[in-house]
């Protein structure tokens, strides 16, 4: 069945499954099959922020004074996050919009992906400020083997789903010969790719960002790179919401009321789901090793960070009804929670003022005098 941007079939949207039913026609929210997605949209909109509102100008001096191995930690994490948000800013739209069947879910996907584009723009804001040659930082992303290795696992499930959808929507189920090559697709196989894709996105947003978050907050605990930390807090807040969104999708799929095939697939894919989590955790541990190859930073080292990866992997798995795979049960860096908490509830230790969190407020009160004590 080909995709259409305004499906003429008169359907009862309340009876459509999340995916692979009729394409959405009227974007209406007066009735909702899953009200949670509308709530997520409202929450995400209430989180709206612009990178330019966060003053990062002091970070420039901090960065220049960092020892080389800490510069490496900081900038490598930024590059990795840039990769992740480049993928997340487009892929939910490209992969899920052609197959979604509920208006509230369709709009959640768009809202989610839009917030990722803010994250991407914030990295440019940070890099422009700390480096006179921002292009070098971004150019390196496409050349850095450590990052490209990760890109492969981050994009594989999206690409397999998108490829299957293209074939299915053009040719339908069956085996088709295209440019002399034979390709097969079935709706069931597509659903399987969808499930694995959502699972891998869940892992991306649940685990892959957190090594880098931990480093950003470890700098900020020392009152370094605090502008960056403010931005990371805003990103982490968004990510927590995205994670909740994919957890809901996975749980609705596994329950089977929405689409009985999905419940069956969730069972069949159990082993693969474990493997996706395990591989991501291993890759993040390798990443920690790469970050600290020339030396640790105060408050964090490779071992602590690896334990944190294990701890967070366990808790993310349990959230979707899986069993923990690591023996770590305690958070080795409990101070990170204070940085991750929502700004309107509690203020992190070093944060005297958080006015920049308010939409529309601009916080740029740094003048030359503030830099008086520094030698450049």
* Spatial separation of the C-alpha atoms in residues 229 and 77, rounded to whole Å: 13
Three-class SS state of 300: strand
> Applying CB under 8 A, does 331 fall inside the site for other proteins?
yes
* Spatial separation of the C-alpha atoms in residues 135 and 167, rounded to whole Å: 37
* Spatial separation of the C-alpha atoms in residues 118 and 49, rounded to whole Å: 8
Site pattern 130..169 for Fe ion (x: CB under 5 A): ----------------------------------------
Q: Dihedral of CA 203/166/251/118: which sign?
A: positive
Angle subtended by helix axes 68-91 and 210-221, to nearest 10: 140
> Applying CB under 8 A, does 346 fall inside the site for other proteins?
yes
Q: Which is nearer to other proteins, 141 or 347 (CB)?
A: 347
**Residue 157 among the catalytic residues:** no
Neighbouring residues of 367: CB distance < 8 A, sequence distance ≥ 6: none
Beta strands 181-185 and 174-178 are antiparallel
> Applying CB under 8 A, does 230 fall inside the site for other proteins?
no
Q: Which does 346 bind (CB under 5 to 8 A by kind): other proteins, Fe ion, none?
A: other proteins
CA–CA distance from 199 to each of 26, 27, 119, 246, 321 (Å)? 29, 27, 21, 8, 13
The least CB distance from residue 69 to Fe ion, in Å, is 27
> Applying CB under 8 A, does 347 fall inside the site for other proteins?
no
Neighbouring residues of 315: CB distance < 8 A, sequence distance ≥ 6: 324
> Applying CB under 8 A, does 318 fall inside the site for other proteins?
yes
The torsion angles phi and psi of 34, rounded to 5 degrees, stand at -125, 95
Site pattern 87..126 for Fe ion (x: CB under 5 A): -x---------------------------x--x-------
Site pattern 228..267 for Fe ion (x: CB under 5 A): -----------x--x-------------------------
Task: Identify the active-site residue in 63, 80, 123, 308.
Answer: 123
- Binding residues for Fe ion, per CB under 5 A? 85, 88, 116, 119, 205, 239, 242
- Binding residues for other proteins, per CB under 8 A? 36, 39-40, 43, 236-237, 240-241, 243-244, 247-248, 251, 315, 318-319, 321, 329-331, 334, 337, 340-342, 345-346
Residues recognised as catalytic: 123
């Amino acid at each position: 069945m080909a995709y259409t941007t305004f499906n003429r079939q008169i359907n009862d949207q309340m009876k459509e499954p999340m995916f692979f039913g009729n394409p959405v026609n009227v974007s209406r929210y007066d009735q909702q099959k899953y009200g949670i997605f509308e709530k997520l949209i409202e929450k995400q909109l209430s989180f709206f922020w612009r990178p330019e509102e966060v003053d990062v100008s002091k970070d420039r001096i901090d960065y220049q004074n960092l020892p080389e191995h800490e510069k490496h930690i900081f900038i490598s994490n930024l590059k990795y996050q840039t990769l992740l948000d480049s993928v997340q800013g487009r892929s939910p739209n490209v992969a899920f919009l052609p197959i979604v069947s509920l208006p509230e879910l369709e709009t959640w996907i768009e809202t989610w992906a839009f917030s990722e584009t803010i994250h991407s723009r914030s990295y440019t804001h940070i890099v422009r400020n700390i480096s006179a040659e921002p292009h070098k930082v971004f150019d390196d992303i496409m050349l850095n083997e450590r990052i490209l290795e990760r890109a492969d696992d981050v994009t594989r499930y999206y690409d397999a789903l998108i490829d299957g959808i293209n074939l299915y929507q053009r040719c339908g189920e069956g085996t088709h010969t295209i440019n002399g090559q034979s390709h097969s697709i079935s709706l069931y196989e597509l659903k399987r790719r969808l499930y694995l894709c959502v699972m891998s996105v869940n892992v991306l947003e649940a685990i892959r960002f957190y090594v880098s978050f931990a480093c950003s907050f470890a700098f900020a605990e020392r009152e370094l790179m605090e502008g960056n930390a403010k931005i990371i807090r805003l990103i982490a807040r968004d990510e927590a919401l995205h994670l909740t969104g994919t957890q809901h999708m996975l749980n609705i799929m596994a329950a089977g009321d929405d689409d009985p095939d999905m419940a069956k697939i969730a069972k069949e894919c159990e082993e693969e789901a474990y493997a996706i989590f395990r591989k991501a955790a291993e890759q993040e541990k390798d990443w920690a090793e790469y970050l600290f190859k020339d030396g640790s930073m105060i408050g964090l080292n490779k071992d602590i960070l690896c334990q944190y990866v294990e701890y967070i992997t366990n808790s993310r798995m349990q959230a979707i009804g899986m069993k923990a795979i690591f023996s770590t049960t305690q958070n080795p860096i409990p101070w990170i929670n204070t940085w991750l908490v929502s700004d309107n509830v509690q203020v992190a230790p070093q944060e005297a003022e958080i006015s920049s969190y308010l939409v529309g407020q601009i916080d740029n009160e740094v003048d030359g005098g503030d830099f008086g004590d520094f030698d450049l």
